[in-house]
Amino acid sequence: MRNFHCKWVWMPVLALLLFFIGGLSVSAQTGDLIHDEAGLLSGEETQELEALAEQYGAEQNVDFLFLTTDNTEGQSIEGYMGDFFDDRADSTGREDAVLLTIDIGGREVYLAGFGTAERTLDSERVDLVLDQIIPEMQSGDYADAFEETVVTSSEYMEYRPGVNPESIFLKTWFHLAIALLLAGIIVGSMLYNAGGRVTTTPGTYVDRDHTRVRSQDDRFRNKTVTRSKIPKNKDGGGFGGGGGMTGGGRSFSGGGRSF
Amino acid sequence: MAFDSDSGHLSCPSCGHEENIETFPEQNIERKFGEGEAKEYHCENCGAIILTEAETTATHCSFCGAPVVLADRLTGDLAPAKVIPFTVSKDEAVAAFKKWTRGGRLTPRGFMSGDRIKKMTGMYVPFWLYDIEGEAHIQAIGTQVRTYQSGDTIYTETNFYDVFREIDLSYLKVPADASEKMDDVLMDKLEPYDYSELKDFRMPYLAGYLAEKYDFDDEQLFSRVESKIVPYIDAYISTTISGYSSVSYTNKQIDAQKKKVYYTLFPVWMVYYDFDNKEHTFAMNGQTGKVVGKPPISAGKVALWFTGIAVSSFAVMKAIAFAVGGVLW
């Protein structure tokens, strides 16, 4: 009886606590991460992406924003997304964000990192993310492109700033392959040498006084020259690499592509 | 009297009397049988008949254990020119072998104690040493590659050169074992011997050891010695052509002739070792103590070493990746 009573006393406190936690996260992410002004997503997709962006955003402590438009009002896509972000940051006070902008009118895409994301998702990493989403952009899977952006950026942001997260030296399969190769070579040579090693060398029996080059001649014969063009930048063409500054004075890392 | 590897003299095990082999009078070595006579030998110590294989030139009497040198098998065409005497005594050979078994990282635990030596035989193995003289005529095409960039074009410029070389070759005392019984690979691995201790052959060096006469003469073995030095010659040739990014030979003509041959006896300890109901044979260089031969391999240890190295190098790489990238997976 007493136990029962105790439980009832605690219930309101628990409810209050839950409300507080929930309230906090609600006020942090107010459900305005997806701004699909061009109408590229279905309602269901918007909800799913919103949830995804919220989840990953909480982990990385940034807002993953998605902005689509069919008209940049005469501005460049960088200027348009800069104005958008200035407005949003001024009104919400949230400065750390990753913003994917699609201008379906100009068929351009721009990915930018603001605040802490300017460092954790620097322009090189932006370029890597763009490499991965361009195929989806070209086939019109804009929801997938944003999902890919969120997941891949989060992954990259785990790495120390300045490190190339796609470097082969950081890949587990590479570590595994080298480890197995190394073990194979070392144990193989141990097995091979178990019966005793050959320790004679080409110099062991040579008579240095009488082994010599009697005559030699090196005559130039002909030469060939082959030319190859340095490959141009990736398909679709990139622009705005390295980031920049918004009209409101916020600096960002970023890069864009046509698709 | 028998050969003593420590002093390099003949010494009597009973009274300790020593004789210098280099000055030992030739007439003291008894030649009981001339060539073509009946091949029956008697022990000078106990008179028993000694039975040997046809190649044996030095052995022990199977009755009293006294050392016997079959002098007629070491004269005329069969007389060795040079010999490297044993410098590793039997006790030292046993110790060196035991030490070697302990160093086997892939051998089973029981093998590593090295205490199951069944038999150790000190043996003078017949070798031919060849002094080889020759010349090589080389024609090759060498390339030098240079790349440079101008505007948005990369130029790769390749210069071709005709390369000629005339080379005098000389190799001294390249050995090849002349005994059919001995495994060639095993004998090759015993090399090199220190030729500064190469002595003119005197029969008393053989006292107390087994010795054999050659099965193959110097003509028969020359092709083997040729195949041995061709890689050496190739290596030398490539050192004479430098400064190119690639060299392809269009003509490589190597003539090598033997200038001189020496019939020589090299000291080898044969070690017969029982392990796991199997006899393993090892050979030890009787001058340097180098051991060769296929030891038993423990599959468990091979697996252990493999996983050990793989896991630890994987861990090291992961640690470095973590330190650099800040991400473990």
For residue A185, what is the nearest residue in chain B, using CA coordinates?
A: B306
Which helix or strand (DSSP H or E) is residue A221 part of?
Answer: strand A212-229
| Predicted interface score ipTM higher than 0.90 | no
Question: What pLDDT is attached to residue A154?
Answer: 93
Is B305 in contact with A215 (Cβ distance < 8 A)? Answer: no
Question: What pLDDT is attached to residue B28?
Answer: 53
Q: Helix (H, G, I), strand (E, B), or coil: what is residue A123?
A: helix
Beta-ladder partners of B252: B138
Cβ proximity of B100 and B291 under 8 Å: yes
Q: What is the pLDDT of residues A154-191, one digit of tens each?
A: 999 999 888 888 888 888 999 999 999 999 999 999 99
Question: What pLDDT is attached to residue B38?
Answer: 42
Q: How far apart, in Å, do the first and last CA atoms of chain A sit?
A: 69
For residue A232, what is the nearest residue in chain B, using CA coordinates?
A: B152
Cα separation, A242 vs A230, in Å, equals 21
Is A202 in contact with B236 (Cβ distance < 8 A)? Answer: yes
For residue B294, what is the nearest residue in chain A, using CA coordinates?
A: A195
Question: What pLDDT is attached to residue B111?
Answer: 84
Question: What pLDDT is attached to residue A190?
Answer: 92
DSSP states of B63-92 = TT--EEE-GGGGSGGG--SEE----S-HHH
Q: Which CATH class is domain A30-168+235-258?
A: alpha beta
Give B 177-206 residues with CB within 8 A of chain A.
186, 188-192
Query: How many cross-chain Cβ pairs, A to B, lie less than 8 Å apart?
Result: 189
As to burial, measured by CB atoms within 10 angstroms (0-12 exposed, 13-18 middle, 19+ buried), residue A145 is: buried
Question: What pLDDT is attached to residue B36?
Answer: 45
Which helix or strand (DSSP H or E) is residue A101 part of?
Answer: strand A97-103
Optimal mutation site among B107, B146, B186, B313, interface A, most CBs of chain A within 10 A: B313
Question: What pLDDT is attached to residue B25?
Answer: 63
Helix (H) and strand (E) counts in chain B:
4, 15
Sorted by sequence, the CB contacts under 8 Å of residue A8 that are 6+ apart come out as none
Strand order in the sheet with B2-3: B2-3, B10-11, B18-19
Return the number of other C-beta atoms located less than 10 Å from residue A102's C-beta: 28
The ranges assigned to domains in chain B are 2-128+174-215+263-296, 131-169+228-259, 298-329
Per-residue pLDDT band for A27 (boundaries 50, 70, 90) equals very low
**Cα–Cα distance list, A31 to A28, A47, B248, B275 (Å):** 9, 9, 70, 77
Q: Where are the beta strands (DSSP E) in chain B?
A: 2-3, 10-11, 18-19, 41-42, 49-50, 56-60, 67-69, 82-83, 117-150, 153-177, 199-200, 210-212, 246-275, 278-285, 291-292
Cα separation, B104 vs B108, in Å, equals 8
Question: What pLDDT is attached to residue B76?
Answer: 75
Is B141 in contact with A221 (Cβ distance < 8 A)? Answer: yes
**Phi–psi pair at A207, nearest 5 degrees:** -95, 100
pTM greater than 0.80: no
Q: What is the pLDDT of residues A206-248, one digit of tens each?
A: 999 999 999 999 999 999 999 998 876 555 567 767 788 888 8
Mean pLDDT value across residues A193-209: 88
Sorted by sequence, the CB contacts under 8 Å of residue A98 that are 6+ apart come out as A62, A63, A64, A65, A111, A112, A113, A114, A117, A121, A149, A150, A153
Q: At what angle do helices A172-193 and B299-325 cross, to 10 degrees?
A: 150
Residue A1 has pLDDT above 80, yes or no: no
Cα separation, A142 vs A255, in Å, equals 18
Residue ranges of chain B with pLDDT lower than 50? 30-38
